[in-house]
Amino acid sequence: MNFYKHFIGDYQRDTMHLTMMQDGAYRRLLDACYATERVLPADTDDCYRLARAFSKDEREATDEVLREFFPVGLDGSRHNKRTEKELANATAYAGAQSMRAHKRWQMQADMQAHDQAQCPEDASHSHSHSQTPQPDSTAKNDKNNVGQDARRVLAFLNEKAGRRYRENRVNLDFIKARLKDGATVTECRQVIVKKCREWKGDAKMELYLRPATLFNRTKFAQYQGELVAAPEDAPRETS
């Protein structure tokens, strides 16, 4: 999740008693929850790494924040009511948007089917002309193929990293840009496999298993250059 609402009045009301150091620790832990769309681990050392708390004072400030705002639940993880509410709202919104898009597509399909039933000769004539793609049609097909490939790469990232990044413009645009630069779907998957192997399980680095980092133009070129020929973990291209 790359964006979340921040209500200044509510936040100040709930955190007015925090010191500057405690407030900083709280914001960093909130960002970790939103970025990964996960609850915090119960282990305090993992939370220290997420908050980048290294000194004794920083860790004491983080301890206070964890006790007040991130209690350990029955499942053994630390929960924060605010982040869970925002994540639930974001998931519901994404589901509603998907449903609306499906309804629009279904309505267009129904209208097309109705027009073809009313004017079968026109539909046949139109179909015969469509056998030879025009330049605009070819460009549109290329664009659709890039979008489909980007969604396949995002789905692969979610599978390997254990994430739930949604197919929204923010996430897909990073991947589309690299595909348009000449990267293949296989190379994108190889980068994901390599970075999951290196970063997964590291509470600090695992945060960067996200489209904005992996498919940043500069960083992706670096990760792409780290690939070796025919790596054993290289995923096979599927149609």
Q: What is the mean pLDDT of residues 157-174?
A: 91
Asked whether residue 188 falls in the same domain as residue 235, the answer is yes
DSSP assigned state of 17: T
| Helix and strand numbers, DSSP H then E, in the chain | 11, 2
**Could you tell me which of 234, 222, 211 has the C-alpha nearest to residue 158?**
211
Cβ 161 vs Cβ 209: under 8 Å: yes
Tokens coding 198: 């290196």
Which one is predicted more confidently, 100 or 219? Answer: 219
pLDDT of residue 88: 73
pLDDT of residue 114: 66
As to burial, measured by CB atoms within 10 angstroms (0-12 exposed, 13-18 middle, 19+ buried), residue 144 is exposed
Per-residue pLDDT tens digits for 38-91: 889 999 999 999 999 999 999 999 999 999 999 998 888 898 887 887 777 656
* pLDDT band at 170; cut points 50, 70, 90: confident
Going from the C-alpha of 90 to that of each of 5, 185, 194, 206, the distances in angstroms are 10, 28, 30, 22
Q: How many domains does the chain have?
A: 2
pLDDT of residue 167: 92
**What is the spatial distance between Cα 205 and Cα 199, in angstroms, rounded to a whole number?**
5
Q: What is the mean pLDDT of residues 8-28?
A: 93
127 inside domain: no
Q: Name the amino acid, one letter, at 162.
A: G
224 inside domain: yes
Which one is predicted more confidently, 213 or 125? Answer: 213
Place of tokens 């904005």: 212
Place of tokens 């405690």: 22
Residue 105: which H helix or E strand, with range? helix 81-118
Mean pLDDT of the residues in the chain: 82
**What is the spatial distance between Cα 220 and Cα 208, in angstroms, rounded to a whole number?**
12
Q: What is the mean pLDDT of residues 155-184?
A: 92
Going from the C-alpha of 223 to that of each of 92, 167, 181, 193, the distances in angstroms are 34, 23, 15, 11
Its domain, for residue 15, covers: 1-117
Asked whether residue 57 falls in the same domain as residue 92, the answer is yes
Asked whether residue 165 falls in the same domain as residue 209, the answer is yes
Looking at the DSSP bridge assignments, the partners of residue 77 are: 41
162 inside domain: yes
Tokens coding 150: 């980007």
8 inside domain: yes
Q: What is the mean pLDDT of residues 159-164?
A: 91
128 inside domain: no
1 inside domain: yes
The reply to whether the predicted model has a pTM over 0.75 is: no
Buried b (16+ CB within 10 A) or exposed e, 61-81: bbbebbeebbeeeeeeebbbe
**What is the spatial distance between Cα 171 and Cα 165, in angstroms, rounded to a whole number?**
7
Q: How far is CA 29 from the centre of its chain?
A: 18
pLDDT at 93 over 60: no
